[in-house]
Structure 1
């Protein structure tokens, strides 16, 4: 299991998993599972995306408080 932090990959317009500033997973797809740290506990979740009325989109992690800017969220796969 690889543990690191989420980071935005501008090459593929997705959030991926960075370990020591190297891409362990270059970009999660909608519905793809991972675990994230919430209140010092690992929580299973999945990556999803919602479209806003202005045509922009936000990434979010189902069942967690994380939505929008996911940079530096501690995660593992």
Structure 2
């Protein structure tokens, strides 16, 4: 299990997982699955990474998109 914070990787134009400012996973692709920590309900929410037609990344079934993805606590198997 890899866990860290989402960060935008300007080298490849994708969001990836950062651990101590180092890339644990350098970029998600559309359809990749992950879990995001919901601060309100204090539980992990299964989701997947997708991109809108305006090149805006978002997490399916969550309110998180665009720059709001930055710094979210996530994990992947």
TM-score (norm 1): 0.90
Deviating more after overlay: 8-17 vs 65-74: 65-74
Aligned residues: 73
Structure 1 stretches (4+) deviating beyond 3 angstroms?
none
Instruction: Give CA deviations for 1:13-56 in whole Å, capped at 9, x if unaligned.
Output: 0000011111111000000000101122101100000013xxxx
**RMSD (Å) for aligned C-alpha atoms:** 0.8
Q: How does 1:26-37 map to 2 (within 5 A)?
A: 26-37=26-37
1:62 and 2:64 are equivalent in the alignment:
no
User: Is the Cα contact below 8 Å between 1:2 and 1:19 reproduced in 2?
Assistant: no
TM-score (norm 2): 0.90
| Match in the other structure for 2:23 | 23
Higher helix fraction (1 or 2): 2
